[in-house]
């Protein structure tokens, strides 16, 4: 037994060495949304940055929201350095002191010398966050599964009589309430005004009620293309870049319906108490430069947040697909579009989440 | 239970019907575990049998998901199988890292749980132990308290003492969860334990340490080992505490499966599941052999 | 030592009155015995102590500390200490006076400086929906506020003129609060301090608690129904055969929970094996595949499968001890097979039934993993909501309160189990 014990302890110690060997304390931890989107960031930002600085990056996935950030900061156990968040979450995290303020003057200027403050699209710089992309929540369907008339409007998504079958939706009130009101006939410009009143919220949930039994809920951005491919749903809401990559990169017969798209921006934030704050800042400056932002558009159909990057955007990595028309901001796609109102969501997130969860469980 | 000779036709029918019912229940128990094995050799990325698989077309079977276990996360999976390839595999392949973490955490937690648990079981089995019932129920409680409550509590406490996102934190947590099993199995071997053997050893001049290693230990060893195996499996299968306490560095196999099932469900999960089924068959066999050995040693007739 | 105590019969005790028995070193035997007993107790305690300490520190204290959160929430008083102090003087009848507003304006400046206003805003927002932005924007403007602060704040946002908001703030300023336990049973206190139900569309936890008990009950019932015949068969078969069949029960027991859950996904999902078989057999149409997973059905099937060994094993160990002659005697005395089984056999298995039922119920009530993976929306249990509040909404006090209720339920069941079965009689494998 003694020998058994001894050898187990030795084995455990050996495992310990191996387990510890691969991670080092000064690796930068970059957290993003996983799948095709993280891949685009790895190709456009992380690989060049690692090559330039010689530092290592640990890439981690999450599903949005400030919950994990807050848990880390408030429990005093920060392991993430820099995180890709939505605007409303960036604003909230900033208010709650979870992320550090970032001075836009420190950001690199455009190649022609325009300071960053003027180069970024208005509204994409915030007190604690710097935007990288414009993205959108759209809905998509598998063209090979629908015969005859194809869905073209947001109303069709809610029409289970005309298009019988399951629907995929993100397990969050965000964007879903907007879709519901748009489908119920509210003009894009009035969405948030209506949603701010109790009657408006009531109306949106009533509309969601009509398809509740057909909905398959997803959480990770990688799930919707999967749900479509597996035939688990007929149509699903999704982030436009994921669908584009599945269609252009993997030849899936997925079509995007731009009508009623809800677009938003994604931004970098650096956590208060981040273990590698300086490296994170360096990475942030590097990845929000004109060239890096333009490079990212080669890998996924999200629009760069700098004006100076737009002319540099060319073809998809397959070398033939023009990226311009695939962007949420392309004029043809913007006809009936809603811009996510970050102030509304920062203020109402809590009660709408609570209500949404009660509604789901009921 | 054989059918008595005086059984009527109704009874005979029931006798066979009953066996059929039991057979169906046993099938219900075992089929879900067996079914993952053939599915893991699917050549297609589906969770079901393809027509090719049903007609035993060799083309429809493949080892691609097993390769995927190795390749996933590697920097250069297609490089020639040189030393560099193996270092890459060892350090970067997600499942391999998860496996290393699982074994490291599991073995460490088991050692702590087994040593402390055996000592405590020895104490608890003494008649002189004060407050025995109360203390036993406290020590068994990690098995009874829902693990979500355990994990929630540990999340705050371990973070406040700097143990969150560390190997030590997860190991301590898993040791606490494994302890009840060690106590139960070791106590069970001690109930049939003849206390006069200790006195005999003392009379013959053995000191405490010698008595423990030469008399007590060999007799309770089977109980200790099966307790240790239970503790190991508890840690090896645990995901909730890992979800709350660990970060990506300490990701274990169940944690990796958890994100796989929730997010990108692919037959890789089934390949991992198959490997885990084989491991559990091995563990089950060991425990059974130990149980029989223990019964033999203690002179209990096999049940 | 044991030999000494064996000789301490009353007869010898009487002798001791005349001439006290002494040990070799001259100490009275009685004292020596007490010493020996104390040493034995100490030795037993020392063996148990390290583990007890370990479990207390790594397990009991963390849970206790977590439960404190369910009634102790000091965010407000920490971030806005002067306001908290000033609010103590306020009787709540009308709007607070200038002193409170002045204290609040002072606190806002600090909160802006420390960027802590969001925490208070979130805290108050739980009880007063939509007040978040009033706090954050007031903090942003705080440097510009000048006396009289009451007018300045109300001018910045009308909501500061609402008595209700101040009433909610006064309540939030108290660090010890029952509000999370009230919320856990769908109750809240209105602005006047009465306990009332929350809005219809927010009522959820009572439903979830009842659903958890209901599903745990169904699963326990199924486990007993399926486990009893199997245990009976195993106990009545010859050892060699029953050992073989026992493997079928023990293998699932030893197989990873996630493996079994994955297997059920493969079997039950709409493109899964069972549906494929049914479609292939023309029993159902390809368009009307059965939805057996991501709902309550999925939770029930998968959890019954996972917990079934926990009901078979205790039943089996009890049945094993029942001599088959009893049944035969009943039959030879003229009982029908059913009477013999029902009147003679079943009553003897009651301890096994109790153990199995309680064990399965205790485990089912606190289950998290399986419902989370296959439960969809209506198959979620109370544990899943604890996780939701821990990880998503970050209402940690709410998670703690729900945890407190769940823990109390489990403790009652555990006490019952100890009373009826005895935890030390639990056997594994």
Q: Does C14 touch chain A (CB under 8 A)?
A: no
Min distance C362 CA to chain B CA atoms (Å): 7
Contact C115 A231 (CB under 8 A): no
What domains are there in chain C, each with its CATH number? 2-68 (no CATH), 75-177 (no CATH), 205-425 (1.10.3720.10)
Categorize the per-residue pLDDT at C425 as very low, low, confident or very high, splitting at 50, 70 and 90: low
Q: How is A177-226 classified by DSSP, letter by letter?
A: HHHHHHHTT--GGGHHHHHTSHHHHHHHHHHHHTTGGGEEEE-STTHHHH
Min distance B25 CA to chain C CA atoms (Å): 7
Q: How is C175-239 classified by DSSP, letter by letter?
A: SB-SHHHHHHTTEEE-TTS-EEEPPGGG--HHHHHHHHHHHHHHHHHHHHHHHHHHHHHHHHS-H
Q: Does C207 touch chain A (CB under 8 A)?
A: yes
**What pLDDT score was predicted for residue C106?**
93
Q: Does B153 touch chain A (CB under 8 A)?
A: no
**What pLDDT score was predicted for residue C291?**
85
List, in order, residues 6 or more apart from A125 with CB less than 8 Å away. Answer: A104, A116, A117, A131
pLDDT tens by residue, B181-202: 999 989 888 877 777 888 888 8
pLDDT tens by residue, C386-415: 999 988 888 899 999 999 999 999 999 999
> Taking a contact as any Cβ pair under 8 Å apart, which residues of chain C between 29 and 48 contact chain B?
37, 40-41, 43-48
Mean pLDDT value across residues C317-327: 89
pLDDT tens by residue, C92-140: 888 999 999 999 999 999 998 888 888 898 888 877 877 888 898 898 8
Q: Which two tokens stand for residue B274?
A: 């198959």
Contact B221 A15 (CB under 8 A): no
Question: What is the CB-side half-sphere exposure of residue C63 using CA atoms within 13 A?
Answer: 25
Q: Does C77 touch chain A (CB under 8 A)?
A: no
> Taking a contact as any Cβ pair under 8 Å apart, which residues of chain A between 56 and 75 contact chain C?
65-68, 70-71
3-class DSSP assignment, residue C303: helix
Preferred mutation among A96, A100, A356 to probe C, highest tally of C CBs within 10 A:
A96
- Output the CATH code of domain A25-134+266-325: 3.40.190.10
For residue C133, the chain A residues in CB contact (below 8 A) are 343, 346-347
Contact B263 A18 (CB under 8 A): no
Min distance B35 CA to chain A CA atoms (Å): 20
Q: Does B159 touch chain A (CB under 8 A)?
A: yes
**What pLDDT score was predicted for residue C15?**
46
Bridge partners of residue A139, in order along the sequence: A237, A257
- d(C-alpha C40, C-alpha C60), whole Å: 27
Residue C256 has pLDDT above 60, yes or no: yes
Contact at 8 Å (CB) between B273 and C236? no
Buried b (16+ CB within 10 A) or exposed e, C8-22: eeeeeeeeeeeeeee
Residue C213 φ then ψ, to 5°: -65, -40
- d(C-alpha A69, C-alpha A98), whole Å: 7
Residues of chain B with CATH 1.10.3720.10: 107-297
For residue A16, the chain B residues in CB contact (below 8 A) are 104, 108, 167
Taking CA–CA distances from B222, the nearest residue in chain A reads A1
Contact C115 A68 (CB under 8 A): no
> Taking a contact as any Cβ pair under 8 Å apart, which residues of chain C between 380 and 399 contact chain A?
380, 385, 388, 390-394
Share of chain C above pLDDT 70, in %: 94
Mean pLDDT value across residues B260-273: 83
Q: Which among A70, A94, A358 has CB closest to C394?
A: A70
Residue C1 has pLDDT above 50, yes or no: no
Categorize the per-residue pLDDT at C427 as very low, low, confident or very high, splitting at 50, 70 and 90: low
Residue A65 φ then ψ, to 5°: 85, 160
Mean pLDDT value across residues C239-247: 89
Categorize the per-residue pLDDT at C19 as very low, low, confident or very high, splitting at 50, 70 and 90: low
Predicted confidence pLDDT, tens digits, chain A (362 residues): 444 445 544 454 444 444 443 445 578 999 999 888 999 999 999 999 999 999 999 888 888 888 889 888 887 889 899 999 999 899 889 988 999 999 999 999 999 999 999 999 988 898 999 999 999 999 999 999 898 899 999 999 999 999 999 999 999 999 999 999 999 999 999 999 999 898 999 999 999 999 998 998 998 888 899 889 888 899 999 999 999 999 998 888 999 999 999 999 999 999 999 999 999 999 999 999 999 999 999 999 999 999 999 888 888 888 888 888 899 988 899 999 999 998 888 878 888 988 998 898 87
Q: How is C402-427 classified by DSSP, letter by letter?
A: HHHHHHHHHHHHHHHHHHHT-GGG--
Q: Which two tokens stand for residue C389?
A: 């509040």
Preferred mutation among B10, B25, B234 to probe C, highest tally of C CBs within 10 A:
B25
> Taking a contact as any Cβ pair under 8 Å apart, which residues of chain C between 350 and 409 contact chain B?
362, 365-369, 373, 383, 386-387, 390, 396, 399-400, 403, 406-407
Q: Does C59 touch chain B (CB under 8 A)?
A: yes
- B–C CB contacts, 8 A cutoff, strictly below: 277
Distances (CA, A) of C294 to A141, A238, B234, C81, C270: 22, 20, 26, 47, 10
Taking CA–CA distances from A14, the nearest residue in chain B reads B104
Categorize the per-residue pLDDT at C422 as very low, low, confident or very high, splitting at 50, 70 and 90: confident
Mean pLDDT value across residues B252-260: 91
Min distance B227 CA to chain C CA atoms (Å): 9
Categorize the per-residue pLDDT at C251 as very low, low, confident or very high, splitting at 50, 70 and 90: very high
For residue C119, the chain A residues in CB contact (below 8 A) are 96-97
A137-263+332-361: which CATH architecture? 3-Layer(aba) Sandwich (3.40)
Q: Does C339 touch chain B (CB under 8 A)?
A: no
Contact C51 B244 (CB under 8 A): no
Preferred mutation among C72, C262, C337, C410 to probe B, highest tally of B CBs within 10 A:
C262
Residue A290 φ then ψ, to 5°: -55, -45
For residue B221, the chain A residues in CB contact (below 8 A) are 1
Q: Which among B136, B175, B181 has CB closest to C423?
A: B136
Contact C66 B28 (CB under 8 A): no
- d(C-alpha B251, C-alpha A275), whole Å: 20
Q: Do domains A25-134+266-325 and A137-263+332-361 have the same CATH topology?
A: yes
Min distance C193 CA to chain A CA atoms (Å): 21
Residue C14 has pLDDT above 70, yes or no: no
Contact A219 B262 (CB under 8 A): yes
Contact A67 C271 (CB under 8 A): no
3-class DSSP assignment, residue B276: helix
Q: Which among A8, A11, A76 has CB closest to B159?
A: A76
Q: Does C335 touch chain B (CB under 8 A)?
A: no
Q: Does B168 touch chain A (CB under 8 A)?
A: no
Min distance C366 CA to chain B CA atoms (Å): 5
B107-297 placed in CATH 1.10.3720.10: yes
**What pLDDT score was predicted for residue A5?**
44
Preferred mutation among A95, A202, A220, A232 to probe C, highest tally of C CBs within 10 A:
A95
Q: Which residue has the higher pLDDT, A63 or C373?
A: C373
Min distance B139 CA to chain C CA atoms (Å): 7
> Taking a contact as any Cβ pair under 8 Å apart, which residues of chain B between 21 and 40 contact chain C?
21-22, 25-26, 28-33, 35-36, 39
For residue B302, the chain C residues in CB contact (below 8 A) are 239
Backbone dihedral region of A132: left (phi > 0), alpha (psi from -120 to 50 degrees) or beta?
alpha
> Taking a contact as any Cβ pair under 8 Å apart, which residues of chain C between 180 and 199 contact chain B?
none
pLDDT tens by residue, B114-153: 999 999 999 998 888 889 889 999 999 999 999 999 999 9
Instruction: Give me the numbers of helices (H) and strands (E) for chain A, helices first please.
Output: 16, 11
Q: Which chains touch B (3 or more CB pairs under 8 A)?
A: A, C
Contact at 8 Å (CB) between A57 and A27? yes
Q: Which among A15, A35, A222 has CB closest to B103?
A: A15
For residue A34, the chain B residues in CB contact (below 8 A) are 263
State the virtual CA torsion across A332, A338, A340, A344 in degrees, nearest 10.
170
DSSP state of A324: G
């Amino acid at each position: 037994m003694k020998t058994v014990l001894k050898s187990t302890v030795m084995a455990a110690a050996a495992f310990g060495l191996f387990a510890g060997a691969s991670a080092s304390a000064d690796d930068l931890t970059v957290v993003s949304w996983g799948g095709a989107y993280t891949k685009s960031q790895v190709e456009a930002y992380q690989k060049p940055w690692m090559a330039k600085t010689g530092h290592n990056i640990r890439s981690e996935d999450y599903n949005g929201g400030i919950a994990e950030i807050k848990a880390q900061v408030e429990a005093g156990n920060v392991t993430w350095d820099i995180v890709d968040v939505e605007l409303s979450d960036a604003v909230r995290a900033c208010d709650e002191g979870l992320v550090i303020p970032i001075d836009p003057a420190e950001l690199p200027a455009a190649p022609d010398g325009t300071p960053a403050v003027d180069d970024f699209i208005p509204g994409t710089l915030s007190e604690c966050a710097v935007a990288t992309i414009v993205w959108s929540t759209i809905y998509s369907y598998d063209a090979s599964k629908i015969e005859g008339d194809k869905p073209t409007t947001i109303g069709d998504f809610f029409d289970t009589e005309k298009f019988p079958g399951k629907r995929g939706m993100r397990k969050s009130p965000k964007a879903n309430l907007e879709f519901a009101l748009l489908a119920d006939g509210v003009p894009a410009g009035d969405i948030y005004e209506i949603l701010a009143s109790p009657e408006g919220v009531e109306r949106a949930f009533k509309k969601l009620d009509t398809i509740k039994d057909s909905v398959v809920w997803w959480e990770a951005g990688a799930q919707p293309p999967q749900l479509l491919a597996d035939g688990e749903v007929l149509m699903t809401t999704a982030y436009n870049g994921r669908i584009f990559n599945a269609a252009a990169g993997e030849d899936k017969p997925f079509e995007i319906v731009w009508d009623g798209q809800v677009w938003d921006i994604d931004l970098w934030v650096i956590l208060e108490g981040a273990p590698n704050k300086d490296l994170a800042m360096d990475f942030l400056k590097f990845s929000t430069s004109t060239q890096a932002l333009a490079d990212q558009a080669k890998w996924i159909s999200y629009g760069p947040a700098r004006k100076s990057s737009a002319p540099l955007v060319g073809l998809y990595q397959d070398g033939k697909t023009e990226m311009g028309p695939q962007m949420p901001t392309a004029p043809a796609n913007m006809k009936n579009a809603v811009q996510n109102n970050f102030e509304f969501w920062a203020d109402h997130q809590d009660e709408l989440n609570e209500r949404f969860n009660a509604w789901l469980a009921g | 239970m054989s059918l008595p000779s005086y059984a009527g036709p109704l009874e005979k029918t029931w006798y066979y019907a009953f066996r059929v019912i039991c057979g169906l229940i046993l099938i219900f128990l075992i089929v879900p575990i067996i079914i993952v094995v053939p599915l893991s050799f699917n050549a297609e990325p589906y969770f079901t049998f393809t027509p090719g698989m049903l007609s035993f077309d060799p083309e429809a079977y493949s080892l691609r998901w097993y390769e995927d276990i190795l390749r996933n996360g590697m920097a250069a999976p297609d490089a020639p199988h040189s030393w560099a390839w193996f270092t890459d595999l060892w350090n970067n392949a997600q499942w391999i890292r998860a496996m290393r973490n699982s074994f490291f955490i599991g073995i460490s937690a088991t050692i702590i749980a087994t040593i402390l648990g055996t000592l405590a079981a020895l104490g608890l089995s003494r008649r002189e132990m004060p407050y025995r019932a109360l203390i036993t129920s406290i020590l068994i409680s990690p098995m009874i308290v829902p693990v979500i409550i355990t994990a929630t509590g540990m999340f705050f406490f371990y973070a406040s003492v700097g143990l969150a996102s560390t190997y030590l934190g997860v190991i301590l947590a898993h040791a606490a969860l494994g302890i009840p099993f060690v106590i139960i199995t070791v106590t069970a071997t001690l109930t049939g334990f003849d206390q006069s053997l200790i006195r005999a050893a003392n009379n013959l001049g053995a000191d405490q340490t010698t008595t423990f290693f030469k008399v007590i230990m060999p007799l309770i060893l089977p109980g200790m080992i099966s307790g240790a195996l239970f503790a190991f499996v508890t840690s090896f299968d645990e995901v909730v505490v890992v979800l709350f306490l660990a970060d990506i560095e300490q990701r274990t196999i169940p944690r990796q499966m958890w994100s796989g099932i929730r997010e990108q469900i692919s037959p890789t999960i089934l390949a991992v599941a198959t490997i885990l089924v084989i491991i559990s068959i091995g563990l089950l066999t060991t425990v059974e052999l130990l149980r029989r050995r223990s019964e033999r040693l203690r002179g209990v007739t096999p049940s | 030592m044991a030999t000494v105590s064996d000789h301490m019969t009353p007869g010898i005790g009487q002798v001791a009155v005349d001439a006290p028995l002494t040990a070799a070193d001259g100490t009275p035997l009685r004292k020596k015995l007490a010493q020996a007993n104390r040493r034995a107790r100490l030795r037993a305690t020392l063996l148990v102590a390290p583990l007890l300490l370990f479990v207390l520190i790594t397990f009991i204290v963390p849970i206790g500390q977590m439960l404190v959160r369910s009634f102790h929430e000091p965010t407000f008083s920490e971030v806005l200490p002067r306001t908290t102090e000033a609010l103590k003087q306020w009787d709540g009848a009308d709007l607070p006076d200038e002193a409170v507003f002045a204290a609040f304006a002072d606190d806002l400046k600090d909160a802006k400086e420390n960027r802590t206003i969001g925490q208070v805003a979130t805290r108050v927002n739980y009880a007063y929906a939509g007040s978040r932005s009033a706090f954050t924007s007031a903090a942003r403007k705080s440097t510009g506020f000048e006396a009289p602060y009451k007018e300045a704040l109300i001018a910045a946002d009308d909501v500061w003129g609402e008595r209700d908001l101040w009433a909610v703030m006064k309540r939030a300023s108290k660090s010890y609060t029952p509000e999370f336990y009230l919320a856990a049973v769908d109750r809240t206190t209105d602005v006047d301090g009465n306990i009332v139900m929350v809005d219809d569309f927010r009522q959820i936890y009572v439903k979830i608690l009842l659903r958890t008990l209901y599903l745990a009950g169904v699963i326990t019932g199924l486990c007993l129904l399926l486990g009893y015949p199997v245990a009976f068969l195993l106990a009545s078969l010859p050892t060699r055969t029953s050992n073989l069949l026992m493997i079928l029960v023990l293998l699932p027991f030893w197989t990873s929970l996630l493996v079994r859950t994955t297997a059920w996904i493969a079997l039950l999902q709409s493109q899964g094996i069972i549906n494929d078989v049914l479609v292939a057999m023309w029993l159902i149409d390809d368009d009307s595949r059965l939805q057996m997973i991501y709902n309550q059905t999925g939770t029930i099937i998968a959890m019954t499968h996972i917990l079934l060994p926990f009901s078979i094993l205790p039943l089996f160990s009890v049945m094993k001890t029942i001599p088959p002659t009893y049944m035969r005697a009943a039959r030879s005395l003229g009982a029908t097979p059913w009477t013999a089984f029902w009147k003679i056999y079943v009553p003897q298995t009651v301890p096994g039934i109790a153990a199995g039922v309680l064990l399965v119920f205790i485990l089912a009530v606190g289950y998290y993993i399986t419902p989370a993976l296959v439960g969809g929306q209506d198959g979620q249990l109370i544990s899943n909501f604890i996780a939701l509040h821990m990880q998503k909404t970050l209402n940690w006090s709410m998670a703690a309160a729900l945890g407190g209720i769940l823990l109390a339920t489990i403790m009652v069941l555990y006490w019952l189990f100890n009373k009826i079965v005895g935890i030390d009689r639990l056997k594994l494998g």
